[in-house]
Amino acid sequence: MIRLEARPEPSRTFKWASPLIAVTATVAIGFALFPAMGKNPFDAFHAFFVKPLDSLYGVGELLLKASPLMMIATGLAAGYRANVWNIGAEGQLTLGAIAGGGVALALHGVDSPLVLPLMMAAGVAGGVAWAAIPAWLRTRFNANEILTSLMLVYVATLTLSLLVHDAWRDPEGFNFPQSKLFSESAILPNMLEATRLHWGFLLALAVVAAGWVFMQMSYVGYQMRVAGLAPAAAHYAGISAPRTVWLGMLIGGGCAGLAGVGEIAGPIGQLQPSVSPGYGFAAIIVAFVGRLHPVGIVFASLLMSLLYLGGESAQLNLALPSAVTGLFQGTLLFFLLAADVFIHYRLRGAKRVTRAAVAASDPARKMSGV
């Protein structure tokens, strides 16, 4: 019989090997799955992972889609480390888009370099405000933030739908539920010729860098980590639990709100009933696959972005449904969580450990903790 046995110290190797194992296993599943759907697995692999990147435009798309993912995931990671489970980033992104879009529409035709910063400030404020609701409900009423933040996703989406169907609908838009196209001053400038990549990408990198400094080096970041790992120890050390919840939620909300502005001021250029293909949820996966660490998150967001592009490419080239993207995202996260067990445990067969081996391996700990 094989059983799990706790490691004396968590394995650093497996902490970073586990995402690689998960990616490999997901690809392997894909290879098994494509023939079942009557596709040559190598063609599918090519369509999924190579084709999207065989042009500069493709690389631009990769970075374009990775930007909101890494921005949101960094914000969420700050919360997750503190055991604050904000899963409503999709809603906070939507509110950010609404607030930023509201500014863009209000200043329509105003040609000033201040328009974009104002939109961003509004977007961050919108995301923060939306995240403040679950934070308040949790600190004031002890209500589970997982459920409340998720419920607010539906409310946010419906609010956006309400606006573009009614108050903010473009009167000259042939009755389509969408706002006016933003003016030039409300659009993020292009960064790379012949692609759609805009300056939001650098903004995303800046957010990740700020997240790195905050999480890895600051004292507040340390305190939030303590609160996540051992709430009683945080209490003992005088670290305020409500402050942790507020910070964890608001940082996530602000990042998601900013990402929302990046979408509407970037590729979309107006408000539509849907401003995100589920970036807020995919970013949860990105945060975990990136080990809740900013550097890991950058890589994980590129991978997740590739999954989006691959899904689109598979649809075009292989007539595969793009829903396969969601399937792979979920599978990847499953494999990651499963592989993570080896960080804290190792496998042991039924084979008995000899006493000599134990004594030789660690005489100092021989007497500890029976």
Partner 1 sequence: MDTFAQLVILTLAAGTPLVFAALGELVTEKSGVLNLGVEGMMLVGAVVAFMVAATSGSPWLGILAGMGAGAATSLIFGAITLSLLANQVATGLALSLFGIGLSAFVGLDFVSVVIAGITPLSIGGLSDLPVVGQLVFGHNPLVYLSFALFALVQWFLYRSRGGLVLRAVGESPQSAHAIGYPVIAIRYAAVLFGGACAGLAGAYLSVAYTPLWVEGMVAGRGWIALALVVFATWKPWRVLAGAYLFGGVTLAQFQVQALGVAIPSQYLSMLPYLATIVVLAMISRDAVAIRLNAPASLGRPFHPAA
Partner 2 sequence: MARLSLSGITKVYPSVVANDGIDLDVEPGEIHAVLGENGAGKSTLMKVIYGVVKPDAGTIRWEGREVAIASPARARKLGIGMVFQHFSLFETLTVAENIALALDAERARGDLPARIRDVSARYGLPLDPDRHVHTMSVGERQRVEIVRCLLQDPRLLIMDEPTSVLTPQAVAKLFETLRRLSGEGRSILYISHKLDEIRALCDRATVLRAGKVTGTCDPRQESSASLARMMIGGDLPHPEHREAHAGEPRLVVDGLTLPADDPFGTALNRIRLTVHAGEIVGIAGVSGNGQKELMAALSGERTVADAGVVRLMGAAAGRLDAEERRALGLAFVPEERLGRGAVPEMSLAENALLTAHRQGLVGHGFVRMDAVREYARATIAQFNVKAGGADAVARSLSGGNLQKFIVGREIRQMPKVMIAAQPTWGVDVGAAAQIRQALVDLRDAGVAVLVVSEELDELFEICDRLAVIAQGRLSDARPTRDTNAEEIGLLMSGSFSAMGSEP
Among 36, 217, 319, 360, which residue interacts with partner 2 (rule: CB under 8 A)? 217
Paired strand residues for 339: none
321 binds partner 1 (CB under 8 A): yes
Q: Which partner from the list partner 2, partner 1, none does 240 bind, CB cut-off 5 to 8 Å by kind?
A: partner 2
Structure token pair of residue 175: 């009755």
Q: Binding string to partner 1 for residues 116 to 155, with x set by CB under 8 A, is what?
A: -----------------x---x--xxxxx-xxx-xxx-xx
5 binds partner 2 (CB under 8 A): yes
> Shortest CA distance to 266 belongs to which of 206, 191, 187?
187
> Shortest CA distance to 119 belongs to which of 214, 188, 204, 177?
188
Helix (H, G, I), strand (E, B), or coil: what is residue 107? coil
From residue 44, alpha-carbon distances to 23, 57, 154, 319 in Å are 16, 21, 34, 10
CB atoms within 10 A of CB 109: 9
Please count the residues of this chain forming the interface with partner 2, following the rule CB under 8 A: 36
**How near is the Cβ of 116 to partner 1 at its closest, in Å?**
29
Please give the angle made by the CA atoms of 350, 354 and 357, to the nearest 5 degrees: 120
**How near is the Cβ of 359 to partner 2 at its closest, in Å?**
7
Whether 281 and 294 have beta carbons less than 8 Å apart is answered as no
Please count the residues of this chain forming the interface with partner 1, following the rule CB under 8 A: 47
The interface with partner 2 within residues 278-337 (CB under 8 A) comprises none
Q: Which partner from the list partner 1, partner 2, none does 337 bind, CB cut-off 5 to 8 Å by kind?
A: partner 1
Paired strand residues for 198: 190
229 binds partner 1 (CB under 8 A): no
86 binds partner 1 (CB under 8 A): no
241 binds partner 1 (CB under 8 A): no
From residue 3, alpha-carbon distances to 10, 71, 126, 242 in Å are 17, 39, 49, 40
Among 90, 288, 294, 314, which residue interacts with partner 1 (rule: CB under 8 A)? 288
The interface with partner 1 within residues 10-69 (CB under 8 A) comprises none
**How near is the Cβ of 367 to partner 2 at its closest, in Å?**
6
d(CA 112, CA 223): 41
Tokens 């490999």 identify what position? 24
Minimum CB distance to partner 2 smaller for 113 or for 369: 369
Helix (H, G, I), strand (E, B), or coil: what is residue 250? helix
d(CA 257, CA 99): 9
End-to-end CA distance of the chain: 23
Site residues (CB under 8 A) for partner 1?
Answer: 4, 6, 85, 87, 133, 137, 140-144, 146-148, 150-152, 154-155, 158-159, 161-162, 165-166, 281, 284-285, 288, 321, 323-331, 333-334, 337-338, 340-341, 344-345
Site residues (CB under 8 A) for partner 2?
Answer: 5, 8-10, 217-220, 222, 225-226, 229-230, 232-233, 235-240, 352-355, 358-359, 361-362, 364-370
